[in-house]
A and B are shown apart, each in its own frame.
Chain A
Amino acid sequence: MRLYGTEITSRLMLGTAQYPSPAVLAESFRRSGAGIATISVRREAGGDRAGAGFWNLVRDLGVALLPNTAGCHSVREAVTTAQMARELFDTPWIKLEVIGHADTLQPDPFGLVEAARILTDEGFNVFPYTTEDVVLADRLLQAGCEVLMPWGAPIGTGLGLTNIYGLRTLRAQFPDLPMVVDAGLGLPSQAAMAMEMGYDAVLLNTAVAKAGDPAAMAEGFARAVEAGRLAHEADPMEPRDMAAPSTPVIGRAFLS
């Protein structure tokens, strides 16, 4: 899987917030083999490098870092946070979140497109956290995004893929675009389903960090992602209404 020209071997991405400890976080990454770690900049930054202690531990994970603009509710906030992230982590990658609704943490589609355009013009590689809306997706591509991150469900809910029709439509509309289902997953089966639908990767945080055994859950997700990807590549059968027995039926009145 290539994201902005970088080859990423694992199709599982994990957030780094809310774990019981950095040691548990590291063990979760080790057992899952996740290839990308997202990291929140805004609140931890404290105006300078006050979050450096934690960030250094995340750097030690040895995976690609994808800083995010979590908690930003305006274009200006998101752009400023992205600029700070680039300086702190020396990467043009930014997972762009512009929140438009405080309760559902739903993206602000208008602010998202505007911020994506500004950041792309400044040389960022933007990973926009978006909905499954195909029109919005098109606008984000026009703004310069080369990867999309549609939500499965609102952040932290664990509801899974709440709009399967919308996600199928989005995948079908842009078949060659790297797309990552981001947020709302609660169980590995939901990640497998996203992968079976042809999504390139999944990103999650709360489902692992808040599990009773985060490292075990991380491994569970990793296996599900692998299973879902294998199933997608194996070209699954089409469902049908009529039963098709896999054993011979000759000699029985199967057409009666």
Chain B
Amino acid sequence: MLAPFCEGEAAEEPVVRLGQQAAGWWERQGVSVTRRGTVVVTLNRDRRELDRFARRTEGHTRLDAAALAALEPDLAGRFDQALHVTDEAHLDPRAALRHLRARLEGDGVSFVAEPGRGDGLTFDCRGLAARDAFPDLRGVKGEMAVLRAPDINLSRPVRLLHPRFPLYVVPRADGHFMLGATQIESDDRRRRVRSVLELLSAAYALHPVFGEAELVEIGADARPAFPDNLPRLIRRGETIHVNGLFRHGFLLAPALARMAVDMACDRGKPEFYHADHG
């Protein structure tokens, strides 16, 4: 998801501002980006959550039941109000990376899996694996599931606000949906039953048709994050470390890449420059 406005509910201002550039950047690389915004809903008893979310975010319009049904017909009758965050987008992250790689290889870039480093400047983007260099880098666990549910059609990501089990559902090709994501202060990477139960229960509450879906994949990983949950660019000798993108990898990577290049070319200190105290 490229959802800078929704992320603004809890994220710092730079995430919202810089994240708005992301969809255009990915499109310019030839990646398939769908720009249909995001729908935000709550269950009836959590209705105040929608008001709170609306107060703390920007870029949305309020929908009544009829407007929601017009936007997403398969949600008709399930929610009497919603938000439409109009200027958000979504892409398939794996497809996007495959596309980037193919393009780079076409330009003569070679990919190697062996450890080691070449001559000259190195960009270290190892994420949590760079914890040896940054003791305050921590893992924040995220778990997701992929379902195949051909009986429901959603054309844009849907967020279900819930005080305990928030959920987003992102439509993918061929009736597939990605459900995400837990956020646990842990670098454990095991797939836990409890988390999957929460994700699936929330999806079922969003629409019962997910109860009949095929469970295609369950994933778990740990997001690299610094204490302020904002990324950092740190230079140590001939290495520029780019890290701490937390849950905003695809959203902030374009801006971070530009800043890293600026740093490499000595064009001043970029916004996420961080003085090295290590």
Contacts and interface: CB of A to CB of B under 8 A. Distances in A.
B238 interface: no
A23 B194 CA distance: 28
Interface in B172-220: 184-188, 190, 194
Interface in B32-57: 55-56
Contacts of A22: 138, 227-229
Contact of A46 (B10, B190, B230): B190
A20 B229 contact: yes
B163 A23 contact: no
B241 interface: no
Given A23-B228, A156-B163, A50 B186 contact: yes
Contacts of A54: 138, 185-186
A46 B138 contact: no
A162 B163 CA distance: 20
Given A53-B139, A54-B138, A47 B229 contact: no
Interface string B1-34: 0000000001110000000000000000000000
A46 B227 contact: no
Given A43-B184, A46-B190, A53 B228 contact: no
A122 interface: no
A23 B227 contact: yes
B229 A51 contact: no
Interface string A44-59: 1111101101101100
B228 A44 contact: no
A21 interface: yes
A51 B186 CA distance: 4
A20 B11 contact: yes
Q: Which of B138, B225, B230 lies at the interface centre, i.e. has the most chain A CB atoms within 10 A of its CB?
A: B138
B148 interface: no
B188 A53 contact: no
Contacts, number: 58
Nearest to B163: A156
Contacts of B185: 44, 51, 53-54
Given A20-B11, A20-B229, A57-B227, A47 B187 contact: no
A41 to B, nearest CB: 11
A212 interface: yes
A24 B163 CA distance: 20
Interface residues of B, number: 23
A121 B228 CA distance: 41
A26 interface: yes
A47 B189 CA distance: 11
A207 B186 CA distance: 23
Contacts of B235: none
Given A46-B188, A51-B185, A54-B138, A21 B228 contact: yes
Contact of A20 (B10, B163, B187, B194): B10
Interface in A104-133: none
A53 B227 CA distance: 10
Nearest to A55: B185
Interface in A34-80: 43-48, 50-51, 53-54, 56-57
Contacts of B232: none
Contacts of A47: 188, 190
Contacts of B139: 50, 53
Contacts of B141: 46, 50
Interface string A140-158: 0000000000000000100
Given A54-B185, A56-B138, A212-B55, 17 more contacts: A20-B11, A20-B229, A21-B12, A21-B228, A22-B227, A23-B228, A24-B228, A43-B194, A45-B186, A46-B187, A46-B188, A50-B186, A51-B185, A51-B188, A53-B185, A53-B187, A57-B227
26 contacts: A20-B10, A20-B11, A21-B225, A21-B228, A21-B229, A22-B138, A23-B227, A23-B229, A24-B228, A43-B186, A44-B185, A44-B186, A45-B186, A46-B141, A46-B190, A50-B141, A51-B187, A51-B188, A53-B185, A53-B187, A54-B138, A54-B185, A57-B136, A57-B227, A156-B163, A212-B56
